[in-house]
Structure 1
Amino acid sequence: MPQHDGRHTAETTHRSVPSPGGRIHLVEQGSGPLVLLVHGFPESWYSWRHQLPAIAAAGYRAVAIDVRGYGRSSKPAATDAYRMLHLVEDNVAVVRALGEETAVVVGHDWGSPIAANSALLRPEVFRAVGLLSVPYTPRGGPRPGDVFARMGGEEELYVSYFQRPGRAEAEIEPDVRGWLAGLYAALSADTMPAPGAPDPHFVGRGATMRERFPAGRLPAWLGEKELDFYAGEFERTGFTGALNRYRNMDRDWEDLATFDGAPVTQPSLFIGGGLDASTTWLADAIEAYPVTLPGLVSSHILDGCGHWIQQERPAEVNRLLTDWLSALPA
């Protein structure tokens, strides 16, 4: 069906395919080698709307999914249904349902560790991996929940704030559109709080996240129509499925113990935003790429770019992705 993103109309096909958790909704365009696009929080397949036509035009079968718990994909009730092992198997199920043996997997935000772990756990399926915004960090160190709990000091890191079921939902769901607008603005280059302002990644004791979000102005990449799309998806689904990803970090740490310190060896790509906390806080992880991503083809930091990089800088990201894809072994 046609999808209009405000700049161009492109023919895309929507369908759902079987997965271990029920069904995965996907959007595909083009033909050729399969490129699987995995979104992050709080987004949907729609965050790849600029990449689908560009990757298809470059000679690939571009497929963007709604991750389990999002959009039109299944939303299992159990919190532990959102552990990393299950999300990897969802990706494998999509590849198989599309009649393919292998795929390139590309992820943004939470999609980045989902993509990296797909490549790590199922290297026979995922022949190359692209990581956007969130660098690869091998499993290791102390339990993640303990690490994040210590990061806030007198305040609380958003990751810890998300842990208790129902707590963040109570903040977000009465005004999904307003909350999304604020979060997207807080992490976008042109609308993020000024240096020295209270950090929106942290929550004051007894406060809410939205108290630190910018108000009254949308980032340049986000029009009212795009915001309406995202808000409509989450108003229908609620936020529990999306937040359950955060609620499985310690479970993932236990599940992946045998992969402690393991590198991802397939050909890889990293693109980060110069103003994105995911990039700056994890600078040591990027420096470790010669060890952790020995197959790294190229790594790029986009100056003056925030967190939503494939939407903030679609032309640049499309060029980097398609150049990288064209250089991969057949």
Structure 2
Amino acid sequence: MLEAQSYEVAIGITYEYIYVKSSNVDQISKATFLFLHGFPSSFHCWRHQIEYFSKQGYGCLAPNMMGYGKTYSPLDKDEYKTKTMVEHLIALLDHLGLDKVVVVGHDWGVRPASRFVLYYPERTLGLVLISVGYRPPAKLDLDQALVISKKAIGYEMLGYWKFFDSDDAATIMENNADSFIDLAFTSEPIQWKTDLAPLGKIREWIENGKKANQASYMTEDDYKTFRQYIVVGMQPKLNWYKSAITNVDWNDEMSLDPTIKRPTLYIGGTKDYICLIQAFATQKQYITDLKVIELEACHWIMEEKPDDVNQVINEWIKGIL
């Protein structure tokens, strides 16, 4: 893996990142990708994309988001405002002399990725959403969402959020990291439908130290890296959920124009039982230029099917630049 660097994006706020500069081909500098990871991952999850696109001359910038690695990781959930994170990313781009980027988000990385395009369309060439589609600014009522999903699909799609929001979740997860990893990266994605999503199930799984066969698309070293991020402190990572539940972004976003005016690619996994492709069917109303690709994969699409993901993004990017 490339050597990580750090930069102070604001007073007392440092971001850790990996960066490969774009190379000039025929005097034309290729675009740079800004890769934003989700929960409970890190910039490590983009290793396949960085290797592939950097070899083709594209620039690749992958920060550890707030709560991860050596990036600023406050314990106050109210600091996890998306607008603030976008400002941090703009400061990082300015530091590296990058004018416009293609923003790529996975999982929770989709929140800052999509807002980046809303707040700074002039700094973006396009947007790639992986696993999670675009949701326009809106207030969240978690309890209502749980009732609606139970009625619609037979289980609470976001039931695990209740556990993540509890005061003891971080300690339980740190103390039972292997059990959590087994469920997060199970070789049987259907287990998310039975043991992760429904209310109370993930607590039951982790507290009882349950085990599952881990997915084969990750190496032993990948799992070690993943584990290191979990045992060094879960609370800052869980603050992404806590801040969303308390609608920390609403004051910033209530007057935002929700329309995305940049070319957008959404890649969804047909074996993702939490971020269901059909749950994002309405995103096309808010995106002027949207391409949707479905891959037979679980939630961790870019790790399970890196070649397919890279090929899809590569074809799409050539069409928009």
Deviation string 1:159-190 (CA, Å, 9 cap, x unpaired) is 222223x32112201122332232221xxxx4
Equivalent position SS for 2:128: strand
Task: Return the offset for 1:203.
Answer: 3.2
Q: Distance in 2 between matches of 1:213 and 1:178?
A: 5
Structure-2 residue corresponding to 1:159: 161
1:102 paired to 2:71: no
Q: State the alpha-carbon separation in 1 of the partners of residues 16 and 165 from structure 2.
A: 26
Q: TM-score normalised to the size of structure 1?
A: 0.84
Conserved in 1, the CA contact under 8 Å of 2:302 and 2:309?
yes
Distance of 1:209 and 1:255 partners within structure 2: 37
SS of the counterpart of 1:228?
helix
- 1:58 corresponding residue in structure 2: 56
- Aligned counterparts of 1:225 and 1:54: Cα–Cα separation in 2: 20
State how far apart, in whole Å, the 1-side matches of 2:270 and 2:208 are.
Answer: 21
Query: 1:237-287 deviations in whole A, cap 9, x for unaligned?
Result: x01111101111111234311127x1211011110100113442x51523x
1:273 to 259, 269, 279: 269
**RMSD, aligned CA:** 2.6
Give the deviation of 1:193 after TM superposition. 3.6
Preserved CA contact (<8 Å) 1:45 1:65: yes
**Aligned ranges for residues 210-289 of structure 1 at < 5 Å?**
210=206, 215-236=211-232, 238-249=233-244, 250-259=247-256, 262-280=258-276, 283-286=278-281, 288-289=282-283
- Cα contact 2:195–2:205 (8 A) shared by 1: no
Deviation track 1:215-241 (CA, whole Å, cap 9, x = no partner) reads 2411011222211111112222x0111
The separation in 1 between residues aligned to 2:199 and 2:37, in whole angstroms, is: 25
- Counterpart mapping for 1:132-171 below 5 A: 132-140=130-138, 143-148=140-145, 150=147, 157-164=159-166, 166-171=167-172
- In the other structure, the counterpart of 1:79 is 77
User: Which of 70, 87, 90 lines up with 1:89 in the alignment?
Assistant: 87
Q: Distance in 1 between matches of 2:195 and 2:203?
A: 13
Cα distance, 1:208 vs. partner?
3.2
Q: 2:189 aligns with which of 187, 192, 206?
A: 192
**Aligned match of 2:38 in 33, 37, 40?**
40
**What one-letter code is carried by the residue in structure 2 that aligns with 1:24?**
Y
Q: What one-letter code is carried by the residue in structure 2 that aligns with 1:28?
A: Y
Residues 1:149 and 1:62: Cα distance change in structure 2 (over 3 Å):
same
1: distance between equivalents of 2:269 and 2:195?
Answer: 17
Compared with structure 1, are the counterparts of its residues 116 and 85 closer, same or farther at alpha carbon in structure 2 (3 Å cutoff)? same
Q: Contact (CA 8 Å) 1:24, 1:74: kept in 2 or not?
A: yes
Q: Offset of 1:150 from its aligned partner?
A: 3.6
Q: Paired residue for 2:317?
A: 325
Note the C-alpha offset of 1:63. Answer: 1.2
Is the 2:8–2:15 contact (alpha carbons within 8 Å) kept by the matching residues of 1?
yes
Secondary structure (helix, strand or coil) at the match of 1:169 reads helix
Q: Which residue of 2 aligns with 1:300?
A: 293
% of aligned pairs identical? Answer: 25
Residue-pair matches, total: 306
> CA shift at 1:214, angstroms?
6.8
- Using the TM superposition, give the Cα deviation of residue 110 of structure 1 relative to its aligned residue in structure 2, in angstroms: 0.5
Bigger shift: 262-271 or 144-153?
144-153
Q: Which amino acid counterpart does residue 145 of structure 1 have in structure 2?
A: L
Residue 104 (structure 2) pairs with residue 111 (structure 1): no
CA contact (8 A) 2:189 2:271 kept: no
Q: Which structure 1 residue ranges, 5 or more long, are not aligned?
A: 4-11
SS in 1 for 2:249: helix
Q: Secondary structure at the match of 1:311?
A: helix
Give the counterpart letter for 2:218 in structure 1: L
User: Which is worse superposed, 34-43 or 206-215?
Assistant: 206-215
Contact 2:31 2:59 in 1 (8 A): yes
Distance 1:212 1:176, change over 3 A: closer
Query: With structure 2 as the length reference, what TM-score do the two structures score?
Result: 0.86
